[in-house]
Amino acid sequence: MRLVLSSLVAAVGLLYGLAHAAPEPSASPVSDIRDSGFVYCVSGQVNTFNPQKAGSGLIVDTLADQLYDRLLEVDPYTYRLVPELAERWEVLDNGATYRFFLRNGVAFQKTAWFTPTRPLNADDVVFTFQRIFNRHHPWHAVNGSSFPYFDSLQFADTVESVRKLDNRTVEFRLTRPDASFLWHLATHYASVMSAEYAAELTKTDREELLDRQPVGTGPYQLSEYRSGQYIRLQRHSRFWRGQPLMPQVVVDLGSGGTGRLSRLLTGECDVLAWPAASQLSILRDDPRLRLTLRPGMNIAYLAFNTNKAPLNNPAVRHALALAINNERLMQSIYYGTAETAASILPRASWAYDSEAKITEYDPAKAREQLKSLGVENLSLQLWVPTSSQAWNPSPLKMAELIQADMAHIGVKVTIMPVEGRFQEARLMDMNHDMTLAGWATDSNDPDSFFRPLLSCAAISSQTNYAHWCNRQFDNVLLKALSSQQLASRIDAYDEAQHILASELPVLPLASSLRLQAYRYDMKGLVLSPFGNASFAGVSREKEEGQKP
CATH number for position 180: 3.90.76.10
Residues 207 and 101 in one domain: yes
pLDDT for res 278: 81
> Any idea what the CATH number is for the domain that residue 393 is in?
3.10.105.10
Q: What is the value of pTM for the model shown?
A: 0.81
pLDDT band (50, 70, 90) for residue 443: confident
**CA distance linking residue 304 with residue 157, whole number of Å:** 28
**Could you tell me the CA-to-CA distances from 223 to 27, 109, 313, 495 in Å, in that order?**
14, 11, 52, 49
Top-confidence residue, 381 or 23: 381
In a domain, 143, yes or no: yes
Residues 342 and 230 in one domain: no
CA-derived radius of gyration, the chain: 23
In a domain, 383, yes or no: yes
In a domain, 82, yes or no: yes
pLDDT for res 524: 94
Alpha helices in 375-438 (DSSP H): 395-407, 423-427
pLDDT for res 343: 95
Residues 230 and 335 in one domain: no
Residues 318 and 376 in one domain: yes
pLDDT for res 13: 42
Domain boundary among 233, 252, 271: 252
Residues 448 and 311 in one domain: yes
In a domain, 519, yes or no: no
Residues 204 and 335 in one domain: no
In a domain, 345, yes or no: yes
In a domain, 259, yes or no: no
**CA distance linking residue 97 with residue 90, whole number of Å:** 8
Residues 9 and 147 in one domain: yes
Residues 336 and 476 in one domain: yes
Domain boundary among 219, 252, 285: 252
pLDDT for res 56: 74
pLDDT for res 415: 96
CB 251 within 8 A of CB 42: yes
| Average pLDDT estimate for 355-373 | 95
Q: What percent of the chain has pLDDT over 90?
A: 67
Residues 369 and 446 in one domain: yes
| Average pLDDT estimate for 403-420 | 93
pLDDT for res 423: 52
Q: How many domains does the chain have?
A: 2
Question: Angle between the 447-454 and 471-481 helix axes, to the nearest 10 degrees?
Answer: 150
Top-confidence residue, 419 or 429: 419
| Average pLDDT estimate for 350-372 | 94
pLDDT for res 427: 53
In a domain, 535, yes or no: no
Name beta bridge partners: 169.
101, 166
Domain of residue 174: give its range.
2-252
Residues 238 and 322 in one domain: no
Lowest-confidence pick of 5-19, 297-311, 362-376:
5-19
pLDDT band (50, 70, 90) for residue 426: low
Residues 475 and 396 in one domain: yes
pLDDT for res 522: 95
Residues 346 and 234 in one domain: no
- pLDDT exceeds cutoff 90 at 419: no
In a domain, 437, yes or no: yes
| Average pLDDT estimate for 63-76 | 94
For residues 46-68, one letter each, b for 16 or more C-beta atoms within 10 angstroms of the residue's C-beta and e for the rest, the string is bbbbbbbbbbbbbbbbbbbbbbb
- pLDDT exceeds cutoff 50 at 440: yes
Of 98-112, 150-164, 295-309, where does the model show the most confidence?
Answer: 98-112
**CA distance linking residue 337 with residue 258, whole number of Å:** 18
Mean pLDDT (the chain, rounded): 88
- pLDDT exceeds cutoff 80 at 55: no
Q: What percent of the chain has pLDDT over 70?
A: 90
pLDDT for res 79: 82
